[in-house]
Structure 1
Amino acid sequence: MINCIIVEDQPPAQRVLQKYIGEMDNLNLKATYADALQCIAFLKTEHVDLIFLDIHLPRMSGIDFLKSLKTRPQVILTTAFSDYALESYEYNVLDYLLKPFSFERFVQAVSKVTVPTLEVANNISNTSVSTSDILFIKSGYEHIKINIDEILYIKSDADYTEIFTNNKKHLAQESLRYWEANLDAKKFTRIHKSYIINIIKIEKISGNQVQINKNITIPIGRAFKEEFMKQVLN
């Protein structure tokens, strides 16, 4: 479970975040603050994994708040202004949500959180879970079971990823980075900024392309080719 807090001075924005957090099985909202100074006192005694932080706050801005923290939880910034995007990434924030943002965009940001409880686990209440042989993908209010060995490749699609099997395509809300971190690296490898492939399904490698199951061709990204070739040829 990811313990999180909200630091946001506008009640409508607080309510949106509270609603979105309530719809995520892996998020636990511990507190909501309208003031960064109050939050500093809370963090001295309580542990949190994630802060949803507004930039424009009374008394102390979100950026100044970040600067003040010696030990910094993971942070997702929320703001109505895009001016601070570049500066915010100097503080290693996970994501920058520009208000108003959709639930889908919120889920994409949360998928970047890297804490042990977000790793693949045998608990069907998580966003996506797996055992050694199967994977459950959350789709709406359902969890769809996929045999991991049947996955051909995974493709990034804007805020989502598409998981392709022999005869189906499944839409998942996790990022490509999430799958790269949680699937078995001996079986699955990233060969392009937009693709992860199942190594077992490779039919042949030709130039800068990989052929999967005879009729599917996937490009190999220049930045990934050297490491990929070492992996499959060694």
Structure 2
Amino acid sequence: MNCIIIEDQLPAQRILKRYIEDIGTLNLVGTYSNALQALDTINSQKVDLLFLDIHLPKLSGIDFLKTLSNSPHVILTTAFSDYALESYEFNVVDYLLKPFSFERFVKAVSKVSALKNTIQTKEAPVQDIFIKSGYEHIRINLTDIYFIKSDADYTEIHLTQKKHLSSETLKNWEEKLAQHKFLRVHKSYLVNTSKITKLMGNQIYLDDQKIIPIGRAYKEGLISQYSN
């Protein structure tokens, strides 16, 4: 995520820069000592996250938020808790009271990541795909697919009560469906994670009572995603 810092205290700037570098998932595109200096960057670049102090010269952080019509996600950084309630009127994701630890910083950034993922999931349209099966092109809704299995030179697309054969490889399906909650769980299986009801041992149980295996190399990644 691209982020900027608006903070007039140099020690606080240095701490934020170090935390941003250490977390590894943020790209700092600008640091400013007052809010007005940051406007050009916000208006001309893709900025996902704003670390914003409240007590700033010329224009306070809260007043600055009032001027933004399409604000990035905001994490407020301040030594004063007085404005906490007012700040949440502007969809502030978190409110960091100085001095804050790296652990607390990571927690705040994680909230932004979770929020972005939720928004992207809601915005992602339900899609239909056409698969070439023999001489036919068959239209299938992605939500109807339970899993895809590799079978020699073909892949089997398993729906509720039927399956279709496709000439595409499992790797191609994995790349094509990654953004639609399909996950590789075995060298021969790609599963629609929204259909999972439970994991037991080395097996995955789906909501139509189908059971598919989970490979040892894929188990940890699936448990991590399935538990979120």
Equivalence for 2:6 = 7
CA distance in 2, matches of 1:18, 1:95: 18
CA distance in 2, matches of 1:89, 1:70: 16
Q: Does the 8 Å CA contact 2:6/2:38 hold for their aligned counterparts?
A: yes
TM-score if structure 1 supplies the norm length? Answer: 0.52
Question: 2 CA distance for matches of 1:84 and 1:71?
Answer: 21
CA displacement 1:111-137 (0-9 Å, x = unmatched): 111336x98xx9xxxxxxx95339xxx
Match of 1:60 in 2: 59
User: Greater CA radius of gyration, 1 or 2?
Assistant: 2
RMSD of equivalent CA atoms: 2.9
Task: Give the structure 2 partner of residue 115 of structure 1.
Answer: 116
Given that 2:2 and 2:47 are in contact with CA atoms closer than 8 Å, whether structure 1 keeps it comes out as yes
Answer whether contact 1:80 1:100 (CA < 8 A) is retained. Answer: yes
Q: Give distance in 1, aligned partners of 2:17 and 2:74.
A: 16
C-alpha separation in 2, matches of 1:185 and 1:102: 36
User: How far did residue 71 of structure 1 move?
Assistant: 1.0
In structure 1, how many angstroms separate the alpha carbons of the residues matched to 2:36 and 2:43? Answer: 11
Is the 1:49–1:115 contact (alpha carbons within 8 Å) kept by the matching residues of 2? Answer: no
Please tell me whether the aligned partners of residues 49 and 73 of structure 2 are also in contact (alpha carbons under 8 angstroms): yes
Give 1:105 shift: 0.5
How far the C-alpha of 1:21 sits from its partner, in A, is 0.1
Aligned-residue identity in percent: 59
Which secondary structure does the structure 2 equivalent of 1:132 belong to? strand
Query: Counterpart of 1:78?
Result: 77
Larger RCO: Structure 1 or Structure 2 (Cα < 8 Å, ≥ 6 residues apart)?
1
In 2, the alpha carbon distance for the partners of 1:98 and 1:59 equals 22
Q: How does 1:1-234 map to 2 (within 5 A)?
A: 2-113=1-112, 114-115=115-116, 132-133=184-185, 184-187=193-196, 199-200=197-198
Q: Is the 8 A contact 1:8 1:54 kept in 2?
A: yes
The answer to whether the 8 Å contact 1:36/1:62 transfers is yes
Task: Write out the 4+ residue segments of structure 1 that deviate beyond 2 Å after TM superposition.
Answer: 130-134, 183-187
- How far does the alpha carbon of each residue in 1:179-225 deviate from its partner, in whole angstroms, 9 at most, with x for none? xxxx94443xxxxxxxxxxx4259xxxxxxxxxxxxxxxxxxxxxxx
Instruction: Kindly state the Cα deviation for residue 42 of structure 1 after the two structures are TM-superposed.
Output: 2.3
- Please state whether the residue corresponding to 1:75 is helix, strand or coil: strand
- In 2: Cα distance, 1:69 partner to 1:85 partner: 19
In structure 1, runs of 5+ residues without a counterpart are 123-129, 135-182, 188-198, 203-234
Choose between structure 1 and 2: higher helix proportion: 2
TM-score under structure 2 length normalisation:
0.53
Structure 1 residues 86, 42: CA separation in 2 closer, same or farther (over 3 Å shift)? same
Q: Equivalent residue of 2:104, what SS?
A: helix
- Offset at 1:43? 1.7
Unaligned regions of 5+ residues in structure 2, if any? 121-173, 175-181, 187-191, 201-228
Aligned residues: 134
Distance 1:185 1:85 in 2: 37
Deviation of 1:29 (Å): 0.3
What is the rounded CA distance, in whole Å, between the counterparts of 1:186 and 1:40 in structure 2? 45
Q: Which residue of 2 aligns with 1:144?
A: none
CA contact (8 A) 2:183 2:193 kept: no
Mapped partners of 1:69, 1:46: distance in 2: 14
